[in-house]
Amino acid sequence: MIRSTPTLLTNKLILGVDPGTTIMGYALIEVTGAKVKVLTYDTINLKRVTNHAVKLKRIYDGTIELINQYLPDEMAIEAQFYSNNVQSMLKLGRAQGVAIAAALSRDIPYVEYAPKRIKQSITGNGNASKEQVAHMLNQTLKLPDLPKLFDATDALAVAMCHHYQKGVNTQAGTKSWKSFLTDNPDRIK
């Protein structure tokens, strides 16, 4: 009789982020094997903040607060999408960069996912609407209440996309000089 080795179920906490300078969505999920538990999902509302630098600081501080409270193992973030409005793209890129910097300051690896890839992984359709994504997440995760803002469900979709992509480039964006030097001792002079 051949005995199989029991598979150890490891817990992984994933922070999903939908960056924005007006509203930033965030979600935290706990993954144990194939089981997913939603810990929280909500938004950081920056509508009343008029100074862009203050918005960036609040995004950074809010992300750090989430990291300190939940201690995620990884962060998944929605990548920028092309827009005709260059100023909007620059502001969104800054918001994304600040959230990434917060994760890197705590040695949290991150992965970026294109909006179409996120929608595809949740609904099977890369052109799905925010309503369709929220509906599918509700069906899949049996959410008690849907939030008023889709930014929260978008962040949950980012975290779930990362979970579904397990094993696919989970170290993207995690390279620091320290890890580079550790991985490449022959390149030190």
Residues making up the binding site for Mg(2+): 18, 78, 151
| Sheet containing 74-78, strands listed edge to edge, beginning at the edge strand earlier in sequence | 35-45, 23-32, 11-18, 74-78, 110-113
Rounded Cα distance between 59 and 45, Å, is: 10
The b-or-e profile of 117-136 (16+ CB within 10 A means b, else e) is bbbbbbbeeeebeeeebbbb
Q: Is 151 designated active site?
A: yes
CA distances 18 to 27, 161, 186, Å, are 9, 12, 39
Catalytic annotation present for 78: yes
Point out the catalytic residue in the list 74, 112, 151, 154.
151
Q: Determine whether 112 is an active site residue.
A: no
Binding site, by residue number, is 18, 78, 151
Token digits for 37?
A: 């538990």
Q: Out of 30, 61, 65, 78, pick the active-site residue.
A: 78
Chain-centre distance for alpha carbon 18: 7
Other beta carbons within 10 angstroms of residue 65's beta carbon come to 12
Q: Which residues are catalytic?
A: 18, 78, 151
